[in-house]
Each structure stands twice: as C-alpha cells, then as structure tokens.
Amino acid sequence: MRKFRKKYSAPGHPWRIERIEEEGALQKEYGLKNKREIWKIRSLLRNFANQAKKLIAATGSQADREKAQLFAKLRKLGLVGEQAKLDDVLGLTIKDLLERRLQTVVCRRGFAKTMHQARQFITHRHVTVGGNEMTAPSYLVPVVEQEMIAFAPASNFSKPEHPERMQPASKRKKYIPKPERSDRRQRR
C-alpha cells in the first residue's frame, strides 16, 4: 500500500502577524482555497533554492548535469530565462510560482472573470490543457502548454455565446463607484 507524505512544512511559529497578513493577502489575490496551498508553493520554492545552493558549491561533471536539469525544469515552467544563472534561481519568489498555476493562467488569459471562478471552472472539468481534462488548480503550467489551454469541448462554456463567458473589453461595462455619503441622516 502506498504511503502518502506531506508535500509541505507548516510554519514554525503559528501566530506571527506579519506572516499571517502576508499569507492572507496572497490567498485573497490568487483565490487560494487555504494557506496550505501557499505552504506547498513555499516548500517547492525552498527545494529549488536548496538545490541551487548545493550546486553553487559543487563542481564536476555530475554538478554540471544537475545544473542543466534544474535550469531545464525551471525554463520549462517559465520561471527563468535562457541565460539564467544560479543566483536567478535564488531570486525566485512565491508570486513567480503562483503566477504559473493553472488557476492563475486561466484567469489571466480571460477564460474567467475572477480567480475563484477560474478555480471553479477547473474543478468542475470545464478546462483542458492540450486536450487533457484538468481538475487541479495547482497544476504548474509549462510554457509550451500555456497556449493549449481551452474549454473542454463537452462544456457549455466552449460556446462563445454562453452568458458567463467574458465579453471583449470594448463591450464591458465600466464600474463606477457610488459617491460616499458623509451625513448619517442621508442614509436613513
């Protein structure tokens, strides 16, 4: 039987206000289900950084192969450029990885109006990547597959006339906030 292991480590101290506020802002901005998703991304980022630190000190043919593999993986995910160095890997942030998630890419490409709607489309099997149905909003989209994101052929959202599909920017209504009232009597 397969033994499942955690893919993240929780924060060392549970009640640091700076960390809680930072994670809350990220959770809201990227429409994440819970903070565990941030912890998973942070662990993945930590793994990349640890591998880069080891490779900075390492020499030899094996170290060169491992550097090439690390850069190939990060280039495939669109996190570093062609002429990247190990210092660039150490400079990656959580936002860099969060921008590569399927949920974020679907929203940024205009398939959904909000991050939460993008998450719902993915979990309800309305989105395909390269013809394959995807149900994991946390899937890190490779650069090659970014243009292959589409609505599933069986989905109602694949029809452009569906009411939930985003309208072109020229036809969208602009939101104009109502002026705030300064006098309490006017509210009654």
Q: Which residues contact 86 (CB under 8 A, 6 or more apart)?
A: 52, 55, 56, 67
Task: Give yes or no for a contact between 79 and 97, defined as CB atoms under 8 angstroms apart.
Answer: yes
* pLDDT value of position 164: 82
* pLDDT value of position 181: 57
* pLDDT value of position 124: 97
Q: CA gyration radius for the chain?
A: 21
pTM: 0.84
Which residue do the tokens 């013809």 mark?
A: 131
Task: Give yes or no for a contact between 148 and 165, defined as CB atoms under 8 angstroms apart.
Answer: no
* pLDDT value of position 162: 86
Q: For 167, which DSSP code?
A: P
The CATH number fitting domain 102-158, selected from 3.40.228.10, 3.10.290.10, 3.40.50.410, 3.30.930.10: 3.10.290.10
Residues 25, 95, 125, 36, CA torsion sign: negative
* pLDDT value of position 161: 85
Query: DSSP 3-state assignment of 52?
Result: helix
Cα distances (Å, whole numbers) of residue 62 to 55, 59, 171: 10, 8, 57
Listed as ranges, residues in the chain with pLDDT below 50 are 188
Q: What is the domain partition of the chain in residue ranges?
A: 17-98, 102-158
Query: Counting runs of H as helices and runs of E as strands, what totals does the chain give?
Result: 8, 3
